[in-house]
Structure 1
Amino acid sequence: MEGPSSLARRAGTRDDPYAQMREARKQPLLLHSMAVFREIFEVVFAHREIRSVVEVGVESGQVSGMYVELGAKAVYCVDPGATAQLRATLAENPALHLVTTPSPEVLPELPVADLYVLDGDHNYAVVERELSWIFDNAPDAVVVMHDLLWPCARRDLYYEPSPLAPEDKHATSADGPTAWHDELTPAGFVGAGAFTVAQHAGGERNGVATAVEDVLARPGNEQWRFGLVPAVFGMGVLYRAADQGLEDALRPYTESDLLATMENNRVALYTRVLQMQYEAAAQAGHADQLAETVSAQRREIDRLNAELHRAWEALRIHR
């Protein structure tokens, strides 16, 4: 157990009581990056020899570099839409290899890896194919996944334009889910053109968690185990039953009711903020419309006053 020094490190000191809030201000309003799971990756690397990584879905390159810091010798960064900035960042590290062919099609073209990190398309069709290939061709690998909880656990998300065939997609909506009711809403977690979501949650072949369950349930996959870290949209870890040391090391995270409660509270608060932003924008629009109406009415009053003045002048002259 840590001593009093941990209190000062987390809460600040008597001379510097604002240290915690300075750290808080550094974070985005919505935590979503796989970088926040560094200590989970440290556990994985400590219990398995990870020399090669296939990373599906690359952010800024920061997370890609983290795998090298933890001991990987080669990281294959799969991102068909890589920006010029991302290309430049990856080029600075010779251990990072950009791959622009999409997943899962690209998986057979890459060396079999020790660790697969799946954080690309968050829908059943893509995740099911990725896991099926890994289970069949990389049986000794560890698989780390993102978005195993709300909103993608039981509802497909499709980055647009989606390359999926129509039969692999559910009917979609540009509205988004919220924690405050079960229906989609324009005031929810929306993609603003970047992505759409399935109109309905649940059912078959819908969502990332459903894909994991279906692949694990297939004959021949009995030796795979799954652990869920219930934080920041949910991190899943898939490993072989023989990896008892890894399972034990992950247990404080995967069995944490505290993490699950904090995640539920986090998404509830965030979607409330989204609703308030939507309502504020609507009110601003109403205010602009009201201002335009008042301005038009003032112009009409000025016009009528001018006509009335001319009428009085004409009447005075005739008298």
Structure 2
Amino acid sequence: MNRFWEKIVKPILIKTEAKKIIEIGSGLGNNTRNLLGYCQAMDAQLTAIDPKPLFDVKTWTDLYPEHLTVYQQPSMQILPQLEDYDVVLIDGDHNWYTVYNELNLIEKNALKNQKLPLIFLHDTDWPFARRDLYFYPESIPEEYRQPYAQKGIVQGKSELVDEGGLHSSYFNALYENGEKNGVLTAIEDFLKQTSLPNILFKAYSNRGLCTIVPSDNKTLVKSIKYIFDSSGM
């Protein structure tokens, strides 16, 4: 997500004057730091959700006491507790079950409050568009968990490889494609069933970015289309 900050995410946040932001999946905090810079400038608040963030949470919350709240629990435990937000950035557990259910929880809140937030989703192109990744396989119900192994991924090859490849330390689905497999598949399945008016924008570089935008806001849609078209991504 960090690689889309300057050309897509930041301009959209500024355009919408977002005040309440949720980040799912903070990792090292690279994009979290970007978001906090925005929050300081715009007097906004960031809620970061990550079971095991790779930065010192106390240090960061002490540095940004008015702008940062961190939850170190899974997103599906925390999202039902959060109600009022303008933007959600999803870059956490890259599998169908997690992403599909995160989107459904966001939809549930949107229907309750009659307000669909902007939603950014990373890793919507290869390698995880059509292949599940599990940071914690045991957290995914068995009926939604693809057969997986701790092996690498090679572009153009559906099967995992025994030696080398990308993300060989992760738990990856044995094969790509098929039902309920991958981040983009989760997005497409969600959009097929949602009753909320929306439009989907895509960027294809840096493993892909999708943005779900309320389609009833024509001015916003036009602005975001221009940002995506002019980003070169």
Select the structure with the greater relative contact order (CA < 8 A; seq sep ≥ 6). Answer: 2
Q: Deviations over 1:157-207 (max 9, x none)?
A: 001354112122010022222124333213211332xx2111111111111
In the alignment, residue 153 of structure 1 is paired with which amino acid?
A: A
| Distance (Å, rounded) in 2 between the aligned partners of 1:257 and 1:85 | 33
List per-residue Cα deviations over 1:202-234 (Å, max 9, x = no partner).
11111110110111111513x111111112111
Q: Please point out which of 59, 63, 81 is paired with 1:88.
A: 59
Distance in 1 between residues matched to 2:223 and 2:28, nearest whole Å: 29
Q: Distance in 2 between matches of 1:239 and 1:215?
A: 14
- The letter for the 2-side match of 1:93 is Y
The partner residue of 1:120 within 80, 92, 96 is 92
For 2:19 and 2:153, the matched residues in 1 are separated by 39
Q: In terms of mean alpha carbon deviation, does 203-212 or 179-188 score higher?
A: 179-188
Query: In 2, distance between residues paired with 1:84 and 1:239?
Result: 30
Amino acid at match of 1:92: L
Aligned ranges for residues 288-303 of structure 1 at < 5 Å? none
Instruction: Confirm whether residue 213 of structure 1 aligns to residue 188 of structure 2.
Output: yes
Aligned length: 223
Distance 2:208 2:173 in 1: 19
> Match of 1:248?
222
Aligned residue number for residue 70 of structure 2: 98
Q: Work out whether residues 27 and 55 of structure 2, in 8 Å CA contact, stay in contact via their aligned partners in 1.
A: no
Q: Where in structure 2 are the equivalents of 1:1-319 lying within 5 Å?
A: 34-39=1-6, 40-70=8-38, 71=42, 73-83=44-54, 85-94=56-65, 95-138=67-110, 139-160=115-136, 162-185=138-161, 186-192=163-169, 195-221=170-196, 223-251=197-225, 254=228, 259=233
TM-score (norm 2): 0.86
Distance 1:44 1:198, change over 3 A: same
* Cα displacement (A) at 1:246: 3.4
Distance 1:91 1:63 in 2: 18
For residues 197 and 123 of structure 1, what CA distance do their matches in structure 2 show?
9
Deviation above 6 Å: which 4+ runs of structure 1? none
Identity %: 26
Root-mean-square deviation (CA), in Å? 2.2
The structure that is helix-richer by fraction is: 1
Deviation at 1:251, TM superposition (A): 3.0
TM-aligned CA distance change 1:140 to 1:49, over 3 Å: farther
More strand by share: 2
| Residue identity opposite 1:105 in structure 2 | Q
The 2-side partners of 1:250 and 1:179 are apart by 30
Which runs of 5 or more residues in structure 2 are unaligned?
none
Separation of aligned partners in 2, 1:83 and 1:69: 19
Cα 1:84–1:231 change in 2 (3 A) is closer
2:89 alignment partner, SS class: strand
Report the Cα distance in structure 1 between the residues aligned to 2:198 and 2:43, rounded to whole angstroms: 23
**Per the alignment, do residues 226 and 106 of structure 1 end up closer, same or farther by CA in structure 2, a change over 3 Å counting?**
same
Conserved 8 A contact 2:158-2:175: no
One-letter amino acid matched to 1:100: Q
TM-score by length of structure 1 reads 0.64
| Structure 1 residue runs without a partner (length 5+) | 1-33, 260-319
What's the CA shift for 1:84?
A: 6.0
Contact 2:91–2:122 under 8 Å retained in 1: yes
**For the structure 1 residues 178 and 143, does the alpha-carbon distance in structure 2 shift closer, same or farther, using more than 3 Å as the test?**
same
